[in-house]
Structure 1
Amino acid sequence: MTKNVMLQFLIICFVFTQNTKAQCMLQELSLKEKTQQSALIVEARVISENSFWNREHTRIYTSYILEVYKLFKGVLDASPVNLITEGGTVEYNKHSVQHQLELKVGDMGIFFMEQSHNSKLKNLSSNEAVLVAYGGVQGCIKIDQQSKTASDPFNYYYDLDAQLYPQIMALTGAYSEKGNLGFPEFQTALKADIYISDFSPSEVAAGIESEITIRGSGFGNEKGLNSYVEFKDANTGGIMLIQPLASQYTLWEDDKIIVKVPSRAGTGSLRVRNETVFANSDEELSVTYSRLNAIYNGNAFQTNIINKNSNGGYIWQMNSDFNSNTKASEAFERALISWRCKTYVPWEMGKTTSTNVTASDGINIIRFDNNSELPAGVLAACYTYWNGCNDESGFKWFVNELDIVFDDSTNWSYSQAAPELDQFDLESIALHELGHGHQLGHVINPNGVMHYSVAPGEYKKILKSNDIQGGSLVIESSKSSSYCGKTPIIPLKESDCSGTSAVASVHIDIVGGKNSVCEKAWVSFVAMAENGGASPLFEWKINGINTGSIYSTFTTSTLQNKDTITCVMTSSLPGLSSFPVSSNDLYITVSPKQLPEVIPTADSLTSSLNGISYAWFCNSIQITETKKTIKPVLLGNYAVKIWNDEGCESDKSLVYLYDPLGMENATNLSFSIHPNPSSGVFTIQLNEGNFAFTEITVSNILGQKIYKSHFSNNNKKEINLMGNAEGIYFLNIRSGEKAFAAKIILQQETK
């Protein structure tokens, strides 16, 4: 009878900002910050470890006992230091959190520790204060005892005595010796001692049991306790090194080593250590992609995906808040489609859910975090929940659930275009995090989606051949056999993603090509769909509000300045119909309608506004005059209309009554002026009941306004033009659609 033991793993991959870089795990903490925030700083060695459940049986923690050799800061009791970290293994249960510090017996380093602020950790014991590493994995600068160097995820210290110790002491003062760390006599790795001549193959994938053969001399006739191969750690871009598990060595001889390439190995040189000497390779190993492994009982297990939803794979569900951010949900779906249609991973989008927690609850959720739920600086997190079983062929591991969380306070770019220099591109981050869900690890390849870091302003929206190759391998192995009684996946078919790119998209343009339009003018837009199928659906929006237009063209005359036009297209192709995509944004500049005035001079009428063309009207009939200034010969109500530099037509001006025989005759019908001529003070008398809300202006012969006022509650108005030069002036009275004018003469009284 087969015995099945179900196990559950949790792996978390975080993305943090690192100055101008964001590594998939951490935001860099300066040595000064770590020193200031730590209550205890020691140089120590791990002498024992023990993992245990918390009291609620919901978390696994590990206790590391540290033997102290130097005290840089804090008060040290006589007993060894007990450092608690999140994660560990208890029987058939393992909780792995990648941003936490992972140690093993024999590890040495400088530890930066603080009192725990975690209430669950505080309750682990009622009699002792709990110390945790400040900054998780950054809370330890690991020491290489052989070379007297040290490193953390962001920094390499080439000399303990000359570089690292002085930097710490400059912040803490002198340290006190508590013991001897016992550095061996450093031996220079001469060719006669140990030497790497070559290795093959030069290009491999990590985490798939690929083997490399390293040739040279001085490796030792057998693998000693302190003999091992080291690869560049892809999680830190190669600053730190990663060692294979003991079970991953196939052969160790004095002139040859055969070893499997571990999951976290990245592109770079190799190092071989033989007790107290080591050698680096001259050539670099190229790691094309990496597959995630579940580590259990000293062995690495490749993880597969299963037919979780009885429809071939997994159903993703967006939390309602994430889904309500249309641009964010569209960016995520574009990333999802990229994986679906390049590796045919059987992922599909399900209904929106009100669930808003990250947990092993049967929901593959996509969500924004709640306030400070994610640590400061975290961009996104991919949670992979593994289950395993043990049968005659050994342990097997599969993905039971996936969750992805995005930081709600990050300055995200949701556009299909390049992000701004201070923005992180959500589609690129989603593509990367989905890669982890696809069971791919980090690589060191700046052009690859699974590269360990991304910078603000940077974007990687297209899967490269290595990304696709790694994902396709996971698909092939996952469809070949059942895992722990689970049904194998059913990959998508090529017909589910028709078209060469297998990704739907839509681009919109304004007919005529100019984004500057005239107010109230009819403007047309056209949508050009790619992989839209025979009958795609369109949804035109102005400033995010649906216009009701459902065709590939959209025409409107109601645009306002700074309006944004977008179009959402839903493809009719199989496999893409559930993924509406949004177009580019068109930002519209609207030239407002202008209203010119007719300005009279001695024998002419002039438009108050400049234009590229003019139209004049007399008694509502357009006349042949097309210049800014005209000399009318007929009595009538004149108006003007202009077209500006953008070609936009103005409204027609208010009418102006012009009498070539004498303005006084025309105005006497409605009002009287006395005295005229005058030395500067005039009185205007309106005919009763003719005008309300009347405006009065006076202009000189150049058309310049020198006076403006309004009638109040009576029909008499005094105008004082004292101080102006003698000459002819033009009085204009406007009320509603009517305008009248009179000529007034200003002259000094003779004595």
Structure 2
Amino acid sequence: MTNFYFRIPPDKRNYLPFIFLVFILLSFRSLANDSHHFIPLPLNDRIKGASAIVEGEVVAQQSFWDDAQHNIYTSNTIKVYKVFKGQVQEEQIELITEGGQVGFKIHVFSAALKLKKGQQGIFFLTGEQPLGTTPGKQRLKTRAFGSEQGFIHYDLKQGTAKDVFYRYNSAPELYNSITVATGTSFRELTENVKLREAAAPQQLREQQILLTPVIASFSPAEASAGTATILTINGSDFGSSRGNGSVEFRNADDGGNTWIKPLPRDYISWSNTQIRVQIPSYGEDGGTAGTGQVRVNAPDGSIATSTDSLSIPFVYSNLAFDGGARSFKPVLSNLNNLGGYTMQFGPGMQSRAAAQEAFRRSMNSWICNTQVNWRIGSNTTIATAADDDVSMINFVPGATVGQNVLASTVSRYEGCRSGNDTLLWVSEFDMQINSAINWQFGPGGPARGQYDFETVMLHELGHAHQLGHVILPRAVMHHAVESQALYRDLSNDDITGANFVMDRSLIANICQQPPMLPSNSQDCNFPAENNLLAYPNPIIPENETLNLQFLVDEDTSLTLFLYDYTGKLVKEFTAEFSSLNAPVEVRLHSLAAGMYILRWTHADRSGEVKVMKL
């Protein structure tokens, strides 16, 4: 849960596509799960940090409001099979996860663990924070340590185990790793029959399979997820009807470590030689379809995996509804009577001027490419995420967002039903940023051990725009980010996906919910703080002079810093502006072609302008 993961080597930077960057500059087009931007949490760190570790299965779920009616949570009843750490004696415990659905109210936390009934694996647990009465009615109430990284999911069919970042060859291998770290053996409370049966000799399972399915081809080779796009799979021996068969896609929410299945309603047709299915952004077990191979599970248990990979460039985040039986495409709306949404900086954000500027840059990247109607309003004293009609942006302690989570977006939805049709819209979103992270707010690039703030905010705002994760390590919506990674621009695919959301959000709907109005494009033409003008922009080779205009009432000296696309300071200078407000000429003939950020400071004010030199 950025232009992360991708750095241009110094010897290759001169080959940047300059013409494309011109368009980036002129409209602020810069290139974009939950999760989220995660920092990997190694197994030993989870073992050490968790107060209890159990093997279990989700046997029941129920969503509920906390006593203050601030947030919706889900109570997951876990049947415990083995205990690896802690004094767990109960055969059933309650695990509380963030988000859920109560009536037509839905809360989605981008970095939260999301479980489905029937899932098995290893749970890393910590004590539950008081929420009031919960529906599980178990004596032991817990939360996942490490958020989404607090669960290692068993793939019973393959006999393996996987989490967001790591894979494990078998459950016994995982048992050994945990017991070596704890120094004690596990306690078995009750036998895990499903796991034992799944571990039957592979030879026996193969003897029960009469025919092996084959995927000969599929089309299209590139398609979006969550947009009702149909994938057609051609081959043989798929089975005459689906029965308990399924199609599987790589899960973009964990970088492809696991597979996801479409909902039953997503299947269009199934025959022995062809399957037609919608590419899902919400699977039967949660998750999002991502780039990678496609797999067919025939009704007799045999499996066929494609040799080619399906490319999924963008994902429209769909919402589960009716207990996960159906999913719907949410839309953006006009919630502030100004055409869209007003964001407000919380107390932790108000004291960080550089963070505010970086956030505005990220926001403008989306606004100027998709005309999404977002604006920054007055500051708020609200410091915690709640369903309160305030879209709050704030820094919070690491324990609030979860261990090794950089930031999390809480999207809140409301809806209505008319006949057989259902509409869901974004009613509010809150963004919680981990204050314990060593952030680089820019415009310079991150140093070793730092995370680029603008990169991460671009990703989280992508979630607010209703985009899901993709499997592409250098893309804004990839699920994870490296330290020192810097990639502050949206790709054409990000823009295409966001515009797909906008197209659905700008039209009248069955609920008479006011549709979003496109943002005024003038919002994309002002520099930070509205008082430094730089032109012509871009600067053409025939005229290497940049004119600066700074509106003042008296003669003023301005200090300026010019940074290149990688965040390196390439020029520092002072400009003298008179009360006549005449432009100041700056010669840039010694600079290489490329995109730059011109940052200025004056007294207690500062700002920046993007500048392109051809």
Deviation, structure 1 residue 350: 3.1
CA contact (8 A) 1:507 1:527 kept: no
CA offsets, 1:633-689, max 9 Å, x none? Answer: xxxxxxxxxxxxxxxxxxxxxxxxxxxxxxxxxxxxxxxxxxxxxxxxxxxxxxxxx
CA distance in 2, matches of 1:548, 1:360: 48
SS at 1:303's partner residue? coil
Deviation, structure 1 residue 86: 3.7
- 1:406 paired residue number: 433
TM-score computed with the length of structure 2 as normaliser: 0.75
- 1:294 paired residue number: 319
CA offsets, 1:558-597, max 9 Å, x none? Answer: xxxxxxx95269xxxxxxxxx9842599xxxxxxxxxxxx
If each structure's helix is expressed as a fraction of its own residues, which one has the higher value?
2
Deviation, structure 1 residue 58: 4.4
SS at 1:183's partner residue? helix
Deviation, structure 1 residue 203: 0.3
- 1:703 paired residue number: none
SS at 2:358's partner residue? helix
- 1:205 paired residue number: 224
Q: Is 1:183 equivalent to 2:197 in the alignment?
A: yes
CA distance in 1, matches of 2:116, 2:401: 27
Which of 279, 283, 290 pairs up with 1:261?
A: 279
SS at 2:176's partner residue? helix
CA contact (8 A) 2:350 2:379 kept: yes
The amino acid of 1:272's aligned partner reads: V
- 2:405 paired residue number: 378
Deviation, structure 1 residue 547: 9.1
The amino acid of 1:134's aligned partner reads: F
- 2:415 paired residue number: 388
CA contact (8 A) 1:43 1:69 kept: yes
Q: How does 1:471-486 map to 2 (within 5 A)?
A: 471-482=498-509, 484-486=511-513
Task: Return closer, same or farther for 1:457/1:537 CA change in 2, 3 Å cut-off.
Answer: farther
Which of 280, 290, 294 pairs up with 1:270?
A: 294
Task: Return closer, same or farther for 1:420/1:256 CA change in 2, 3 Å cut-off.
Answer: same
CA offsets, 1:477-507, max 9 Å, x none? Answer: 11122362222222146566469xxx99977
CA offsets, 1:170-197, max 9 Å, x none? Answer: 2344345532334244335999422222
Deviation, structure 1 residue 210: 0.9
Q: Is 1:167 equivalent to 2:177 in the alignment?
A: yes
* Structure 1 residue ranges without an equivalent (≥5): 1-13, 509-525, 556-564, 570-578, 586-751
CA distance in 2, matches of 1:355, 1:68: 39
SS at 2:223's partner residue? strand
CA offsets, 1:391-420, max 9 Å, x none? Answer: 135210112223333333432223234332
Which is greater in Rg? 1
CA offsets, 1:94-152, max 9 Å, x none? Answer: 333343333333222223334x2412268778982323333333332211112211111
SS at 2:497's partner residue? helix
Q: How does 1:239-388 map to 2 (within 5 A)?
A: 239-263=257-281, 264-274=288-298, 276-297=301-322, 298-319=325-346, 322-323=349-350, 325-369=352-396, 373-388=400-415
- 1:437 paired residue number: 464
Task: Return closer, same or farther for 1:85/1:72 CA change in 2, 3 Å cut-off.
Answer: same
Identify which of structures 1 and 2 has the higher relative contact order when contacts are C-alpha pairs closer than 8 Å and 6+ apart: 2
Q: How does 1:82-97 map to 2 (within 5 A)?
A: 82-97=94-109
CA contact (8 A) 1:289 1:466 kept: yes
Task: Return closer, same or farther for 1:166/1:121 CA change in 2, 3 Å cut-off.
Answer: farther
CA distance in 1, matches of 2:501, 2:137: 47
- 1:639 paired residue number: none
CA distance in 1, matches of 2:448, 2:218: 41
CA offsets, 1:34-68, max 9 Å, x none? Answer: 33444543333333333444445544444434444
- 2:18 paired residue number: none
- 1:120 paired residue number: 131
CA distance in 1, matches of 2:477, 2:545: 33
CA contact (8 A) 2:147 2:403 kept: no
Which of 55, 58, 62 pairs up with 1:50?
A: 62
CA distance in 1, matches of 2:92, 2:525: 64
Deviation, structure 1 residue 250: 1.3
Task: Return closer, same or farther for 1:481/1:183 CA change in 2, 3 Å cut-off.
Answer: same
The amino acid of 1:204's aligned partner reads: A
Which of 213, 237, 240 pairs up with 1:194?
A: 213
The amino acid of 1:439's aligned partner reads: Q
- 2:235 paired residue number: 216
Task: Return closer, same or farther for 1:253/1:341 CA change in 2, 3 Å cut-off.
Answer: same
CA distance in 2, matches of 1:136, 1:28: 11
TM-score computed with the length of structure 1 as normaliser: 0.62
CA distance in 2, matches of 1:108, 1:380: 27
CA contact (8 A) 1:540 1:554 kept: no
The alignment covers a number of residue pairs equal to 524
- 1:153 paired residue number: 164
CA contact (8 A) 1:306 1:483 kept: no
SS at 2:435's partner residue? coil
- 2:479 paired residue number: 452
The amino acid of 1:334's aligned partner reads: R
CA distance in 1, matches of 2:125, 2:350: 40
Q: Is 1:420 equivalent to 2:453 in the alignment?
A: no
CA contact (8 A) 1:149 1:160 kept: yes
CA contact (8 A) 2:533 2:550 kept: no
The amino acid of 2:101's aligned partner reads: T
CA offsets, 1:210-257, max 9 Å, x none? Answer: 1101122232222234x2222111111111222211221112223222
If each structure's strand is expressed as a fraction of its own residues, which one has the higher value?
1
Aligned CA-pair RMSD: 3.9
Q: How does 1:658-673 map to 2 (within 5 A)?
A: none
The amino acid of 2:144's aligned partner reads: A
CA contact (8 A) 2:64 2:135 kept: no
CA contact (8 A) 1:25 1:98 kept: no
CA distance in 2, matches of 1:55, 1:495: 44
The amino acid of 2:608's aligned partner reads: S
Which of 121, 140, 143 pairs up with 1:132?
A: 143
Task: Return closer, same or farther for 1:505/1:332 CA change in 2, 3 Å cut-off.
Answer: farther
- 2:253 paired residue number: 235
Task: Return closer, same or farther for 1:491/1:242 CA change in 2, 3 Å cut-off.
Answer: same
Task: Return closer, same or farther for 1:504/1:241 CA change in 2, 3 Å cut-off.
Answer: farther
Provide the identity percentage: 31
Task: Return closer, same or farther for 1:465/1:85 CA change in 2, 3 Å cut-off.
Answer: closer
CA distance in 2, matches of 1:566, 1:222: 63
CA contact (8 A) 1:346 1:492 kept: yes
Deviation, structure 1 residue 454: 2.2
